[in-house]
Amino acid sequence: MQAASKIPPQHHEAGYDCIKEIGSGGYGYVYLLSSKQSSSQPYVAGKFVHRHAFGFPGDPAGGEGYKRALEGLQNFRSVSIESEYLLRIFEVRERHEEGYFCYMMELADDIESGRDVNAHAYKPRTLKNELERSGQRRRLPAKQCIDTAIVLARGLQVLHESGFTHRDVRPSNIIFVDGVPKLADIDLLAGNDAALASYIPKDYAAPEGCHSNRADIFSLGKTIYEMCTGLSVKSYPCLPPDIRHWDDHRMMLDINRIIAKSCARDLRKRYGSAREMLSDLEGISQKDR
């Protein structure tokens, strides 16, 4: 990863000032950009996806992969326009002669100050950073986990019913915008094509592969497990030994049943759709009222 102080020249896009690198994922790097075009959006996130990340210039498979990444982004943009649960893409710029394309999107909240962004101190509020906010892993209250999981399941439902899979659902790819959790790293979005590469770590990946809607459900289940227990995904399916003493342990046990069904290795026992999973999550939320 390149140092934040060394911004590649091609990442200085007209209308934006590139401040620093704030993340990486899939085939590119994400930068904090200040916008000269919008007073309502003074800062945005810009992701730059390079052709060379897919293989050497003469490699047909690499060229096809680069093309698919751009198509995945464009597909997502067309779907997300209509949904409050998906990340907003403001602009896509194709710089193929220079060897890349880039897109500007909603910036995640700052982990400490929310939408009041201090550019040079900025740290994105991802779910991963939220779980490690105190310097060590922690769990989120069960009610907060349910509220977060419901929004993420609604986002997956929109994607899946539009014919796409995310393929990399995990805490580092979930950002908060105005407090709303949203799926990021969306240039990996694709249809159910098993030939496409995925960067999802094995502990989040479904045993049958990551190229289906039900694989996304598996990954979301593992993510909810981390949120609710504070344990590493590698600890699944173990529960914390003191869970019976938690004030919210009854709700946590209800959530755990959803986690178990989401993460079932046998497809016959796993949720068949995000809509079905969402229904059970909303049932717990309504039960708590």
Burial status of residue 82 (CB atoms within 10 A of its CB: 0-12, 13-18, 19 or more): exposed
- Find, among 148, 154, 147, 149, the residue nearest to 273 by Cα: 154
Percent of the chain whose pLDDT exceeds 70: 90
Dihedral through CA 286, CA 242, CA 133, CA 170, nearest 10? -60
Task: Say yes or no to pLDDT of 280 above 70.
Answer: yes
The pLDDT value recorded for residue 4 is 39
Per-residue CA distances from 191 to 10, 76, 85, 164, 211 (Å)? 30, 11, 19, 5, 8
Calculate mean pLDDT across residues 103-115.
95
pLDDT confidence of 58, banded at 50, 70, 90?
A: confident
Task: Say yes or no to pLDDT of 157 above 50.
Answer: yes
Q: What is the DSSP letter of 208?
A: T
Number of domains in the chain: 1
Q: Is residue 60 part of a domain?
A: yes
Sign of the four-CA dihedral 57, 62, 68, 69: negative
Task: Extract the tokens encoding 274.
Answer: 């995000």
Could you tell me the residue range of the domain that residue 92 belongs to?
9-287
- Cα(192)–Cα(208) distance, rounded to whole angstroms? 13
The pLDDT value recorded for residue 191 is 56
Q: Is residue 3 part of a domain?
A: no
CATH number at residue 163: 1.10.510.10
Helices (H), the chain: 60-80, 127-131, 142-161, 213-229, 249-262, 274-287
- Cα(62)–Cα(80) distance, rounded to whole angstroms? 27
Q: Is residue 82 part of a domain?
A: yes
CB 73 within 8 A of CB 189: yes
Predicted TM-score (pTM) of the model is 0.89
**What would the pLDDT profile of 114-146 be if each residue is shown by its tens digit?**
999 999 899 999 999 999 988 889 999 999 999
Q: What are phi and psi of 212, to 5 degrees?
A: -145, 165
Calculate mean pLDDT across residues 234-261.
96
Q: Is residue 2 part of a domain?
A: no
What average pLDDT does the structure give for the chain?
A: 88
Calculate mean pLDDT across residues 211-230.
96
The pLDDT value recorded for residue 2 is 38
Task: Say yes or no to pLDDT of 14 above 70.
Answer: yes
pLDDT confidence of 8, banded at 50, 70, 90?
A: low
Q: Is residue 127 part of a domain?
A: yes
